[in-house]
């Protein structure tokens, strides 16, 4: 995979107009555009189709977490929209993940298209180990928990996981080379940390074994967003 294809830009904006402007500006230097709740709730599902028609691949980042029937039904809809990838919370359990993976393949088969990659969200990058123990009452260590959940996601037929940079190497060792690792919490050395807790640089994330890195604010806040994206890609190229 070429360095630009590894870069996922988070379209954390309020309007369809802003999103499509970013896609137009960046689509030839970025691999995937991520649509989260902010944009999806504002612009609606059709924004996925519009970005795809404009030449961008779309990661629908809605982190589905509900009963198996509800999430598998949502997976069929996301597949119809033409998403390149989408995610569910591993904490939703094995049956939810199995039914979601199955529904995605079935729907793509009916449509005659390639199925979107289904990713399992492990632990959010804003969660610290202390919060894991004290707030969520989970006594496993962060790395042990994330690896266990990654193995469970693979067992249930998911394509990969979303995990912080700190767990990349352990997931890669446990799950092997064919399992996708999408890594948020990535910050170039010249960018602010913001509210992320478990972070690393783009080059470090790729060297540890990530397939994709997700970056939003360091690009969106830049005076020249294309230049910011190119700086990140140059860092990736130097690391490979």
Per residue in 155-178, pLDDT (tens digit) is 999 999 999 989 999 999 999 999
What is the rounded CA–CA span in Å between residue 169 and residue 182? Answer: 12
> Whole-angstrom Cα distance, residue 230 to residue 188?
12
Closest CA to 182 of 87, 48, 95: 87
131 is in an annotated binding site: no
pTM, full prediction: 0.93
Q: Is 34 annotated as a binding residue?
A: yes
* Count of domains observed in the chain: 1
Say yes or no to pLDDT of 198 above 70.
Answer: no
Measure the CA–CA gap between 137 and 122, rounded to whole angstroms.
Answer: 16
Number of C-beta neighbours around residue 27 at 10 A: 16
Question: Confidence band (pLDDT; 50, 70, 90) for 126?
Answer: confident
Is 46 considered catalytic here? no
As a residue count, the chain comes to 240
Domain of residue 50: give its range: 3-239
User: Is 63 labelled a binding residue?
Assistant: yes
Instruction: Assess whether pLDDT exceeds 60 at residue 87.
Output: yes
Q: How does pLDDT run across 14-42, given as a tens digit for each residue? A: 999 999 999 999 999 999 999 999 999 99
Q: Could you tell me the CATH number of the domain that includes residue 149?
A: 3.20.20.70
pLDDT attached to residue 235: 87
pLDDT of residue 199: 65
Candidates 2, 61, 135, 195; catalytic one = 61
Q: Where are the beta strands (DSSP E) in 32-93?
A: 32-35, 58-64, 85-89
pLDDT digits (tens, 9 = 90+) for 49-85: 999 999 999 999 999 999 999 999 999 999 999 999 9
Is the per-residue pLDDT at 194 higher than 70? no
Q: Is residue 66 annotated as part of the catalytic site, yes or no? A: yes
Contact present, 58 and 84 (Cβ < 8 Å): yes
Scanning the structure block, which residue is given the tokens 């230049």? 227
The C-alpha atoms of residue 96 and residue 129 are separated, in whole angstroms, by: 26
pLDDT band for position 128 (cuts 50, 70, 90)? confident
Residue 191: pLDDT band (50, 70, 90) is low
- Annotated catalytic residue 41: no
* From 41, 66, 192, 223, active-site residue: 66
Cβ contact 211:168 at 8 Å: no
pLDDT at 196 > cutoff 60: no
């Amino acid at each position: 995979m070429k360095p630009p294809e590894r870069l996922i830009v988070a379209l954390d904006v309020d309007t369809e107009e802003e999103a499509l402007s970013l896609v137009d500006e960046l689509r030839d230097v970025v691999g995937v555009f991520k649509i989260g709740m902010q944009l999806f709730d504002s612009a609606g599902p059709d924004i996925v189709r519009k970005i795809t028609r404009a030449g961008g691949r779309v990661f629908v980042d809605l982190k589905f977490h509900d009963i198996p029937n509800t999430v598998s039904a949502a997976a069929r809809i996301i597949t119809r929209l033409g998403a390149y990838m989408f995610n569910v919370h591993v904490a939703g359990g094995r049956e939810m993940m199995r039914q979601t993976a199955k529904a995605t393949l079935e729907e793509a088969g009916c449509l005659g298209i390639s199925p979107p990659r289904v990713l399992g969200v492990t632990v959010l990058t804003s969660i610290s180990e202390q919060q894991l123990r004290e707030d969520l009452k989970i006594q496993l260590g962060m790395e042990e928990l994330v690896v266990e959940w990654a193995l469970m996601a693979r067992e249930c037929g998911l394509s990969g996981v979303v995990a912080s940079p700190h767990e990349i190497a352990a997931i890669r060792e446990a799950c092997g080379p064919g399992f996708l690792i999408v890594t948020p919490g990535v910050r170039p050395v010249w960018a602010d940390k913001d509210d992320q807790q478990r972070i690393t640089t783009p080059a470090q994330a790729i060297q540890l074994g990530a397939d994709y890195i997700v970056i939003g604010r360091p690009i969106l806040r830049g005076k020249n967003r294309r230049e910011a994206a190119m700086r990140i890609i140059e860092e990736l190229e130097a690391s490979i």
